[in-house]
A = this chain, B = another copy of it.
């Protein structure tokens, strides 16, 4: 096999907090990926036991020549552990080893590891540098851009956190080879999302290359990750603090969060709920006349092909479903505003009459 070419590079332009995302096979094990990063005495790898067993040794081999000490903390695996006690495991390790404020934190894992390690880096001594090494497709296309870090509170997800940018993101496509099929599909839900909200041509491309993506073809994955990051960066760049436009990234999420909460978190993967939620949001868009009915079928076909669910669990019930969406949005201090599609590639936010929402729930449950 020929060696890998240079990785794709997406530059996130945030002034003095800007950084690069390196995308490609072999990025993790290529010393050049680390060029220009600071080399303080201590580095701390934050991971979980599953990911650490698969990829930890390769990362450590890269870091050991660069730092006098490479420490490691493995967090318990799963959304249930995205909490203060995991955060404190990181603080305990940093303080037990007398790590100073130059210590470089590497987050090696999926969304939970990235969110917790990023928030720990944001808070330790009021901020130490960190590098994201996302090991799921979802984390590569979603968490790589935007600087959101957080832990959960018993009363709500992601309630305690910070906006904090990494120094670099290393999105190694080879690590996706070990990803379970179900998690690959969940990541594809977020890839699919970017076309309808911002780039009609990318939706065409995803439809044409979905089989290659499911087969984990590296050129297809590289384009999908790069274009997803570019689109997210474009949106976030205009709205870093999430005051308006950035909400379009939540296409499918209002319905999706209600499904996740209605079933109890952990039943459906987040990406699965978003896949179904995008079909529902498309359906609602059509009921408002913003897109033709054919667009709903197009979304549904694509989500099915990605091996994601397209029907919300009927067991939740329409009344509870509506309530859950209201709770989800209450935190934003207003009515439920849905992210809808108004012509492929263009998202809008609208308050929608509840009767229409109920029609969508009825049509999309099963």
Chain A: residues with CB nearer than 8 A to chain B?
Answer: 40-41, 84, 88, 91-92, 95-96, 98, 100-102, 122-127, 148-150, 153, 155-156, 159-163, 241, 330-333
Q: Is the CB of A101 within 8 A of B163?
A: no
Q: Is the CB of B126 within 8 A of A161?
A: yes
Q: Is the CB of B333 within 8 A of A41?
A: yes
Q: Is the CB of B95 within 8 A of A163?
A: no
Q: Is the CB of B95 within 8 A of A162?
A: no
Q: How many copies does the complex hold?
A: 2
Q: Is the CB of A162 within 8 A of B98?
A: no
Residues on B with C-beta less than 8 A from A333 are: 40-41, 100-102
A147 to chain B: closest residue by CB: B126
User: Given A126-B148, A333-B41, A155–B95 Cβ distance below 8 Å?
Assistant: yes
Given contacts A91-B153, A98-B330, 20 further A-B contacts (CB under 8 A): A84-B88, A95-B153, A95-B155, A96-B155, A98-B331, A100-B330, A101-B333, A102-B333, A122-B162, A123-B160, A123-B161, A123-B162, A124-B159, A125-B161, A125-B331, A126-B150, A126-B163, A127-B163, A127-B241, A162-B162
Docked complex Cα distance between A92 and B241 (Å)? 23
Residues on B with C-beta less than 8 A from A241 are: 127
